[in-house]
Amino acid sequence: MTRIAIAGVPRAGKTWFALQIQKQTGYPVVHGDDFIPMGWSEASAEIARRLVSPGPYIVEGVVTIRGLRKALQFGPERPCDVLHWLGDPRETLRPAQSNMGAQDEKRLAEMEPELVRRGVQVLRGAASYAPGKRALAAAQAPIAAQVVVVEHVAPVAAAPSAPVAVQPFVASGESRWSGSPGRGFG
């Protein structure tokens, strides 16, 4: 499997997770949030075009779920091999972000049967990645997140039952889009 989509609610760690997979696989990452200044419709159309193109790649961002919906309309092919859904934000969301996340969860629920019918492996929550905001909030000390390695991720040197240790995401600097820490919209 070489075509990976990462979608989820705002502030869930989509960019961080994509970069962790990239470290293991070497696949290029397409940051969907970079296309948002084009407008949501144009951004989701660009993501849809990227999703149906040959891999390998990792597509991530809040616009990914909208891009998947458009990709399903392009034709009968599978828009990606696996979709990771991250539904647990790392921090408290503003009302508009919460609303966006709820709408995207509804979009996923509507599309999931068709995605599965086309052979997309849909992984949610702990099946996708861990620990989420609860473990991040549990300690101020640095933590290592566990990434569940599925067959599309390049093999690692650890034993199959051992977790893959990765560095936690730390947002720093100003986003060029939103003025908030981190990449911006996600």
Model confidence pLDDT, tens digit, residues 142-175: 222 333 333 333 333 333 333 333 333 333 333 3
Residue 146 DSSP SS3:
strand
Is residue 182 a part of any domain in this protein? Answer: no
Mean pLDDT over residues 109-119, rounded? 95
Spatial separation of the C-alpha atoms in residues 153 and 149, rounded to whole Å: 6
pLDDT digits (tens, 9 = 90+) for 127-146: 454 433 332 232 222 222 33
CATH for 144:
3.40.50
| Burial degree of 96 (CB within 10 A; 0-12, 13-18, 19+) | exposed
Phi, psi of 168 (to 5 degrees): -70, 155
pLDDT of residue 44: 94
Residue 30 DSSP SS3:
strand
Is residue 183 a part of any domain in this protein? Answer: no
Is residue 171 a part of any domain in this protein? Answer: no
Is residue 180 a part of any domain in this protein? Answer: no
Mean pLDDT over residues 108-125, rounded? 93
Q: What is the mean pLDDT of the chain?
A: 73
pLDDT at 183 over 70: no
pLDDT digits (tens, 9 = 90+) for 91-102: 899 999 999 999
Quote the tokens at residue 37: 């200044």
Is residue 43 a part of any domain in this protein? Answer: yes
Q: What range does the domain containing 72 cover?
A: 3-166
Spatial separation of the C-alpha atoms in residues 76 and 128, rounded to whole Å: 25
What is the separation of C-alpha 77 from the centre of its chain, rounded to a whole number of angstroms? 21
pLDDT at 104 over 60: yes
Is residue 177 a part of any domain in this protein? Answer: no
Distances from the Cα of 163 to the Cα of 55, 74, 89, angstroms: 26, 38, 22
pLDDT digits (tens, 9 = 90+) for 37-72: 999 999 999 999 999 888 899 999 999 999 999 999
Is residue 106 a part of any domain in this protein? Answer: yes
The percent of residues in the chain predicted with pLDDT above 90, rounded, is 54
Q: How many domains does the chain have?
A: 1
Spatial separation of the C-alpha atoms in residues 50 and 59, rounded to whole Å: 8
**Contact predicate 39/117, CB 8 Å:** no
Beta bridge partner(s), residue 7 = 85
86 — pLDDT class (breaks 50, 70, 90): very high
pLDDT of residue 181: 37
Is residue 186 a part of any domain in this protein? Answer: no
